[in-house]
Amino acid sequence: MSDIGGDFIFRGMAEALGWLTLTIVLYIAARRVQSAAKGNPLANSVLLAAVPIMMILTVADVPVSQYQEGGIVLLWILGPATVALAVPFFINFIHVRAAWKPMAVALLVGSVVAVISSVLIGHLLGASIETVRSLAPKTVTTPIAMGISEEIGGIPELTAAFVIFTGIIGAVAASAVFKLVGVSDARARGFGMGVAAGGIGTARAFQESLIAGTFSGVGMTLNGIITAILLPLLWLAFS
C-alpha cells in the first residue's frame, strides 16, 4: 500500500462528505424558505437547494460526477423511501376504498392521457428520443419515475427535473383548471392532482382539504405502481 493511494481515497471521501453536508445544509435552508412562503408550490425546496449547488459547481468548474460521490448516498435512500410509500397508502386506502370505481376509471384515464400526451407532444415538436423517453413518466412520483425512465432508456436525472416542474405546474394551476371544467368534488380534485402532479400536487391538495389530500396521496401511489408496470411493457411492445 502506498501512502499516496490512501491519501487520495481519504481526500475523495472528505470531499464527498463535504458535498453531502452542503446539500443537507442548503436543504434545511430551503425548507425554511418554503415554510416562510407558507408552502407555496413555487418555493420548491428541491429547486431552492439544487440551483445554488449547480451554480457553485459551474463557477468552481467541478464536474457533476465529483459532486455525485456525495449525492449518491441520498439517491440510495430514495429506494427504501419509495417502499415507505406503502405505509400511508395502506392507512389511507381504508378511507377511500368505497370510491374504488371512480378511482379505477380516473387512474386509467389520467395515466393514459399523461403518458400519451407527453410522448406525442414531445415527439411532434421535434424533441430528441432521450428527451421523449425522459418525459414519458413525468406525472409519476419522482423515485418511481426515475426507475421507469431508466427501464425505457430515458435519463433519470432529466425525468426527476420534469416531475418536479410538472408538480409545480399542476399544483399552481389545478384550482383554476378544475374551476374551468367544473370539477367541484373534493375527492375528484384530489385524485386528479395526485395522478397528474405527484407529491407536489398532493401537498397542494392537503392545503385544500384533508379529503382532497388523502385521495391525492392514494392517486399518486396507484399511478406510480400502474405506470411502472404498464409503461415499460408498452414501450417494449411498440418500439
Partner 1 sequence: MARKRPLALRILLWALAFLALVACNEVGGYICDRFGLPVPGTVIGLLIMLAVLAVLRRVPEGLNEVAVYLLSHLNLFYVPAGVGVLGYVALVARDFWPIVITLFVSTFLATIAGGLAFQFVARATDKREADK
Q: Does 205 bind partner 1 (CB under 8 A)?
A: no
In the complex, least distance from residue 59 CB atom to partner 1, rounded to whole angstroms = 12
Compute the least distance from the CB of residue 111 to partner 1, in Å.
8
Interface positions, 87-116, toward partner 1 (CB under 8 A): 87-91, 99, 101-103, 105-111, 113-114
| Site for partner 1, residues 29 to 48, rule: CB under 8 A | 30, 44-47
Q: Exactly one of 16, 41, 67, 206 binds partner 1 (CB under 8 A); which one? A: 67
List binders of partner 1 among 144-173 (CB under 8 A): 144, 146-148, 150-151, 155-158, 160-162, 164-166, 169-170, 173
Residue 41: count of CB within 10 angstroms of its CB: 21
Under the criterion CB under 8 A, does residue 206 sit at the interface with partner 1?
A: no
∠ CA 6-9-15 to the nearest 5 degrees?
Answer: 140
Residue from 7, 8, 58, 97 that binds partner 1 (CB under 8 A)? 58
